[in-house]
Amino acid sequence: MNWTTHAITNQVPELKDYDLYASDPGLRRAVERAGAGWSEAELARQGALLGAEDTIRHAEDANRHHPELHTHSRAGERIDQVRFHPGWHAIMAIARASGLANLPFADTRPSAWTAYAASLYMHSQIESGSLCPTNMTQACIPVLRKEPALFSQLGDKLLARGYDPRDLPLGDKPSINVGMGMTEKQGGSDVRTNTTRALPARGEGRGAEYLITGHKWFFSSPMSDAHLVLANTEAGSSCFFVPRWRPDGSKNPVEIQRLKDKVGNRSNSSSEVEFRDAWGIMVGEEGRGIPTILEMATYSRLNCALSSAGFMRQAFVQALHYARHRSAFGRPLARQPLMVRLLADMALEAEAAMLLAMDLATAFEATDDPARLAWRRILTPASKFWICKRAVELTGEAMEVFGGNGYVEDGPMGRLFRDAPVNSIWEGSGNVMCLDVLRAIGRNPDDYLRVLEQMSAMGAGEPRIEASVAALREALRLPAEEQQAEARRTTTRLVLTAQACLMLRHAGAASAQAFLASRFDPEWGAVMGISAGAADAARIVAAAWPD
In DSSP terms, which residues pair with 237 in a beta bridge?
232
pLDDT of residue 188: 80
What sign does the dihedral 257-130-117-391 (CA atoms) show? negative
pLDDT digits (tens, 9 = 90+) for 409-448: 989 999 999 999 999 998 889 999 999 999 999 999 999 9
To 10 degrees, the CA torsion angle through 231, 237, 242, 246?
Answer: -70
Domain boundaries, given as residue ranges, for the chain: 25-68+81-159, 170-287, 292-544
Under 8 Å between Cβ of 428 and 294: no
Instruction: Of 377, 365, 371, 352, give the one whose Cα is nearest residue 495.
Output: 352
Residue 457 exposed, middle or buried by CB count within 10 Å (0-12, 13-18, 19+): exposed
Question: Taking every pair of C-alpha atoms in the chain, what is the biggest distance, in angstroms?
Answer: 85
Question: Residue 285's closest CA among 275, 276, 293?
Answer: 293
Across the strands, what pairs with 280? 210
Statement: 170-287 belongs to CATH 2.40.110.20: yes
| Closest CA relative to residue 233, chosen from 284, 181, 186 | 284
CB 406 within 8 A of CB 400: yes
Using an 8 Å Cβ cutoff, are 207 and 162 in contact?
Answer: no
Cβ(242)–Cβ(151) under 8 Å? no
Rounded CA separation 227/219 (Å): 9
Residue with the bigger pLDDT between 316 and 428: it is 316
Query: With 70 as the cut, is the pLDDT of residue 532 above it?
Result: no
- Report pLDDT digits (tens) over 370-382: 999 999 999 999 9
Please report the DSSP string for 59-80 in residue order.
HHHHHHS--EEEEE-TTS-EEE
When mean pLDDT is compared across 11-25, 176-190, 384-398, 463-477, the lowest value belongs to 176-190
pLDDT for position 534: 61
Q: What is the pLDDT of residue 428?
A: 87
Phi, psi of 443 (to 5 degrees): -70, -35
Give the chain's end-to-end CA distance (angstroms, integer).
43
Asked whether the predicted pLDDT for residue 533 surpasses 70, the reply is: no
Q: Is the pLDDT of residue 285 over 90?
A: yes
Beta-carbon count within 10 A of 392 CB: 17
Q: Tell me which H or E stretch contains 505.
A: helix 487-506
Residue 428 burial by Cβ neighbours in a 10 Å radius (0-12, 13-18, 19+): buried
* Statement: residue 495 has pLDDT above 90: yes
User: Cα–Cα distance between 279 and 209 in angstroms, integer?
Assistant: 7
- CA atoms of 233 and 249, how far apart (whole Å): 26
Per-residue pLDDT tens digits for 62-99: 999 999 999 999 999 999 999 999 999 999 999 999 99
Give me the pLDDT at residue 125, please: 98
Global confidence as pTM = 0.96
Instruction: Tell me the β-bridge partners of 475.
Output: none
With bands split at pLDDT 50, 70 and 90, how would you rate the model's confidence at 1?
A: low
* CA gap 223, 177 in Å, rounded: 9
**497 in Cβ contact with 356 (< 8 Å):** no
pLDDT of residue 6: 86
Is the pLDDT confidence value at 2 over 80?
no
Predicted pLDDT of residue 33: 97
Confirm if 215 and 229 have CB atoms less than 8 A apart.
no
pLDDT for 531 equals 67
* pLDDT (mean) for 367-394: 95
d(Cα 29, Cα 37) in Å, to the nearest integer?
A: 10
The tens digit of pLDDT for each residue in 44-62 reads 999 999 999 999 999 999 9
- DSSP per residue, 322-390: HHHH-EETTEEGGGSHHHHHHHHHHHHHHHHHHHHHHHHHHTTSS---HHHHHHHHHHHHHHHHHHHHH
Q: Could you read off the pLDDT of 98-130 as tens digits, one per residue?
A: 999 999 999 988 899 999 999 999 999 999 999
Phi, psi at 357, each rounded to 5°: -65, -40
State the Rg of the chain over Cα. 24
Residue 173, φ and ψ in degrees, nearest 5: -120, 140
| Number of neighbours of residue 477 by Cβ within 10 angstroms | 8
Which of the following CATH numbers is that of domain 292-544: 1.10.10.10, 3.30.300.10, 2.40.50.140, 1.20.140.10? 1.20.140.10
pLDDT band at 523 (very low <50, low <70, confident <90, very high): confident
| Residue 272 DSSP SS3 | strand
If one compares 533 and 342, the residue with the highest pLDDT of the two is 342
Please answer whether residues 23 and 545 qualify as being in contact, where contact means their C-beta atoms are separated by less than 8 angstroms. yes
- Beta carbons of 240 and 262 less than 8 angstroms apart: no
Question: Of 163, 84, 91, 165, which Cα lies nearest the Cα of 126?
Answer: 91
Say if 170-287 and 292-544 have the same CATH topology: no
Residues 6+ apart with CB under 8 A from 423: 304, 305, 307, 308, 311, 384, 388, 391
Assess whether pLDDT exceeds 90 at residue 15: yes
